[in-house]
Amino acid sequence: MAYTLNWADDGKTLLCLTIKGSLTWEQLYEAMDEMKVWAESVDHSVTTITDVRNVEQMPLVNVLKLKPAFSNKARNTQMAILVGLPTFQRAMVNAFMSLYKQMTGNLPVAFVETMEKAEALAAREIAK
């Protein structure tokens, strides 16, 4: 499998999706669907971290391809953190989020370079 999903803490407030190697759009949608199921299995807010540092580049020139991935987010997701996303792809995600604010529920999305920064940001968010 091109991805793994796990809770990063005992309280199940931090859900981590790690993607490695090549991934098709369908596999990305599957991973996001699975992430939603896990997040909705708890009755409190969840921060998600998606680590794409070791992904072979997926073409994100078509921002509409992101729609199925983001349209199916869990209601209790309080923040999404993306680790290792290249600058151009960050711009595409930001464009998508601007286009589809109603669908994404104004979900805060943060971009960081390392897992350490992601975990620190998540800890601050969870503590709010």
pLDDT confidence of 68, banded at 50, 70, 90? low
Ramachandran sector of residue 110 (left: φ over 0; alpha: ψ -120 to 50; beta: rest): beta
Structurally, how many domains does the chain consist of?
A: 1
pLDDT digits (tens, 9 = 90+) for 18-53: 998 887 788 888 998 999 999 999 999 999 999 989
The residues, ordered by sequence, that sit 6+ positions from 121 with a Cβ below 8 Å of its Cβ are 81, 110, 112
pLDDT confidence of 85, banded at 50, 70, 90? confident
| Enclosing H/E stretch for 124 | helix 115-127
pLDDT at 51: 94
pLDDT digits (tens, 9 = 90+) for 113-124: 999 999 999 999
Q: What count of other Cβ atoms lies within 10 Å of the Cβ of residue 56?
A: 10
Residue 106 DSSP class: T
Q: 101 pLDDT exceeds 80?
A: no
- Determine if the pTM surpasses 0.95: no
Helical ranges in 2-114 per DSSP H: 25-39, 67-71, 87-99, 101-104
Answer for the pair 60, 95: CB distance below 8 angstroms, yes or no: no
- Which structural domain range is residue 22 located in? 3-127
**CATH number of domain containing 21:** 3.30.750.24
pLDDT at 113: 94
Higher per-residue confidence, 110 vs 46: 46
